[in-house]
Every structure is written in structure tokens, then in C-alpha cells.
């Protein structure tokens, strides 16, 4: 525990990891993931190649750890938003908006790792994360009316809504965010309302 905390406070470690992360995003803009080697990464990050191995086992390991960090960030947004709202619909609406704001603030990172098609693991992780949230949301709505669940299978609906949400965000990034986070969140809420119309 104490050791882990140290890993997060030692400025040398933070600096090196940030250098690696920045270098990686930079290289992804320039070349395919397959072409990114530990050699190039270290050179671009202005660190020694051996130093890389002090932090990550190999490149796939690095990707996993970076994906973990991403989910941790997003998870914080969700838990922070949930607390200061009351209406169920208002919450999910606000959460999506905050999520989009966060992504827009780090658009360079998300565009290259999520949208620019190159590194599947980030999309996977986000899918798994959001699916859980959407599951609980759909189950809540399912309670109020049982018509929907008799027509469309719940798991198919979850697949559908999760993919639509993530895919739209990805397309939004790929097109250089032509709409504001608030506007896109409102559009999501409209698209989502369609479902409720069918239910009632």
C-alpha cells in the first residue's frame, strides 16, 4: 500500500510515465500501432529504452495500464455526477454531458486512442464500462413498463444502446467534434426518448 502510493507521488515516475504517454499518442498520429516499437517510443519520449521496461512489461502491457487509467478517470466523472442530481433522467443526461466535456478536454488523447481506430482495447474497456451503466438504466425503465421487454429482448437492447452511444462519440471525435458536448448530450436524450415513446 505504502509502496503503491509512492509510485503515484514520486515526480520522477510521474514525469517518465507522462513522457511515455505523450510520445505514444504522438507516434500514433504518425504511424500504425504495429510500427510503434519500444525503441521509437523511448527515443521520442527522450528516455532510455531500458527505463520503459522499468514501468511496463511490453507495449500491450502499457496499453492495458493506460486503458485502466482512462476508465478510472471516467469512473470518477460518473460518481461525481450521480451525487448532486435527483431525477433519474436528468442524471443520465448530465452524466453524458460531463463525459463528453471530459473527452473534449482530452480530445487529442481520445481521438487517437479511441476514435482513430488503431487501438481496440480502449473501445472495449469503455464498452464494458458503459454497458453496466446502461444495464441498470434500462432495468429501471423496465420496471415502469413491461411492454418494451416483451417485444425487444433486453440484452439486445443493451447491445444496441451501448454500441450506439460509443459509436456516436467515436464518430463525433473523428469529425473533429462539430457539435458542443451539451448539444450532443441533448441529441442523445432525444434519441433515447424514442424508446420511451414505444414503451408508453
Min dist. Cβ of residue 130 to a copy of itself (A): 11
The answer to the question of residue 50 lying near a copy of itself (CB under 8 A) is no
Contact 29, 8 (CB under 8 A): no
Return d(Cα 112, Cα 104) in angstroms, integer.
Answer: 13
Which range of residues in 22-30, 67-75, 99-107, 119-127 is near a copy of itself by CB under 8 A? 119-127
The answer to the question of residue 92 lying near DNA (CB under 7 A) is no
Distances (CA, A) of 47 to 32, 56, 190: 21, 14, 48
The answer to the question of residue 9 lying near DNA (CB under 7 A) is yes
Residue closer to DNA by CB (options 5, 194) is: 5
When binding is defined by CB under 8 A, the residue of 39, 106, 167, 182 that contacts a copy of itself is 167
Contact 52, 44 (CB under 8 A): no
The answer to the question of residue 37 lying near DNA (CB under 7 A) is yes
When binding is defined by CB under 8 A, the residue of 34, 83, 86, 136 that contacts a copy of itself is 34
Neighbouring C-beta atoms of residue 5, cutoff 10 Å: 9
Residue with cell 415513446: 197
Residue closer to DNA by CB (options 49, 195) is: 49
The answer to the question of residue 39 lying near DNA (CB under 7 A) is yes
Residue closer to a copy of itself by CB (options 95, 115) is: 115
Neighbouring C-beta atoms of residue 3, cutoff 10 Å: 6
The answer to the question of residue 38 lying near DNA (CB under 7 A) is yes
Positions in the binding site for a copy of itself (CB under 8 A): 32-34, 59-60, 117-121, 123-124, 127, 151-153, 155-157, 159-164, 166-168, 170-172, 175, 179, 184, 187, 190-191, 193-195, 197-198
User: Which residues contribute to the site for DNA (CB under 7 A)?
Assistant: 6-7, 9-13, 15-16, 37-40, 46-51, 53-55, 57-59
Amino acid at each position: 500500500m505504502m509502496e503503491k502510493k509512492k509510485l503515484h507521488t514520486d515526480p520522477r515516475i510521474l514525469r517518465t510515465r507522462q513522457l511515455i504517454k505523450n510520445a505514444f499518442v504522438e507516434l500514433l498520429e504518425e504511424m500504425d500501432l504495429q510500427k510503434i516499437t519500444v525503441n521509437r517510443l523511448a527515443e521520442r519520449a527522450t528516455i532510455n529504452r531500458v527505463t520503459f521496461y522499468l514501468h511496463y512489461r511490453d507495449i500491450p502491457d502499457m496499453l492495458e495500464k493506460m486503458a485502466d487509467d482512462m476508465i478510472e478517470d471516467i469512473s470518477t466523472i460518473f460518481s461525481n455526477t450521480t451525487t448532486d442530481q435527483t431525477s433519474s433522467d436528468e442524471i443520465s443526461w448530465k452524466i453524458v454531458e460531463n463525459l463528453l466535456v471530459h473527452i473534449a478536454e482530452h480530445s487529442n488523447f481520445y481521438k487517437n486512442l479511441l476514435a482513430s481506430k488503431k487501438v481496440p482495447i480502449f473501445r472495449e474497456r469503455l464498452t464494458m464500462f458503459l454497458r453496466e451503466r446502461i444495464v441498470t438504466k434500462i432495468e429501471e425503465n423496465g420496471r415502469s413498463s413491461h411492454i418494451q421487454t416483451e417485444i425487444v429482448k433486453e440484452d439486445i437492447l443493451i447491445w444496441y444502446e451501448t454500441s450506439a452511444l460509443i459509436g456516436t462519440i467515436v464518430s463525433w471525435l473523428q469529425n473533429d467534434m462539430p457539435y458542443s458536448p451539451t448539444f450532443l448530450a441533448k441529441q442523445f436524450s432525444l434519441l433515447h426518448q424514442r424508446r420511451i415513446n414505444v414503451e408508453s
